[in-house]
């Protein structure tokens, strides 16, 4: 994969995550877990205090065909985004595309509405273009209206819908 392009602005630095970011990544992920568990406890596990998911986030530091960028402001992580490349060229009924799939985007509550999420997305977009991706894709939960509005402002639009039907009471 091609190199990382770093976008910078005063006081906010976007960079690839490193192992010393792990504790802060887990803390940020807890905010995501708390919000999602509150809205959909049948799907999302309750927050664990941060360390239950340490192995998961450690594995995300160097994903195959992917990246984890952090937003750092004054030596504090303000947010992060994960993304991976996937390829539809072997699927006969789809257009042959290289996709960049955004997995998680989290901005610390104290840093929201200051452009951190937009900067993280811009970094992923630059990385995706450098790796010959044709399109960015992501999923957002139906309950997460704020995220839906944010992604719409970033020029994302609806493409498909994931439906679920519980089979157990």
C-alpha–C-alpha distance, residues 121 and 79, integer Å: 11
pLDDT in tens, 117-154: 999 999 999 999 999 999 999 999 999 999 999 999 99
**Residue-level pLDDT at 9:** 45
pLDDT at position 3: 58
DSSP 99: E
Element at 84 (helix H, strand E): strand 76-87
Q: HSE on the CB side for 88, CA within 13 Å? A: 14
For residue 81, the model assigns a pLDDT of: 98
For the chain, list residues with pLDDT below 50: 8-9
Quote the Cα angle for 68-70-74, to 5°.
165
On whether the CB atoms of residues 107 and 87 are closer than 8 A, the answer is no
Q: What is the DSSP secondary-structure string of 13-79? A: EEEE--GGGHHHHHHHHHHHHHHHHHH-TTTSPPP-SSSTTHHHHHHHTS-TTEEEEEEEETTEEEE
Q: What is the pLDDT of residue 96?
A: 93
Q: What is the pLDDT of residue 49?
A: 76
* Backbone phi, psi, residue 124, to 5°: -65, -40
Whole-model pTM above 0.75?
Answer: yes
Domain boundaries, the chain: 11-153
The CATH superfamily label for domain 11-153 reads Gcn5-related N-acetyltransferase (GNAT) (3.40.630.30)
Cβ atoms within 10 Å, residue 98: 16
In whole angstroms, what is the distance from residue 126 CA to residue 103 CA? 16
Model pLDDT, residue 141: 93
Q: Which residue(s) pair with 87 in the sheet?
A: 98
- Reduced to 3 states (helix: H, G, I; strand: E, B; else coil), residue 8 is strand
């Amino acid at each position: 994969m091609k190199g990382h392009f770093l976008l910078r602005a005063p006081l906010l630095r976007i960079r690839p995550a490193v192992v010393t970011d792990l504790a802060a990544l887990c803390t940020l992920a807890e905010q995501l877990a708390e919000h999602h568990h509150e809205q959909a406890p049948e799907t999302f596990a309750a927050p664990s205090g941060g360390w239950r998911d340490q192995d998961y986030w450690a594995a995300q530091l160097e994903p195959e065909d992917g990246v984890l960028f952090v937003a750092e402001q004054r030596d504090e992580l303000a947010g992060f985004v994960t993304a991976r490349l996937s390829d539809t060229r072997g699927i006969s009924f789809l257009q042959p595309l290289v996709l960049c799939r955004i997995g998680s985007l989290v901005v610390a509550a104290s840093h929201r509405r200051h452009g951190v999420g937009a900067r993280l997305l811009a970094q992923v977009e630059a990385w995706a273009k450098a790796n010959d991706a044709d399109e960015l894709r992501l999923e957002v939960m139906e309950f997460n209206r704020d995220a839906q509005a944010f992604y719409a402002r970033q020029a994302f639009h609806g493409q498909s819908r994931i439906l679920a039907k519980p089979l157990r009471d």
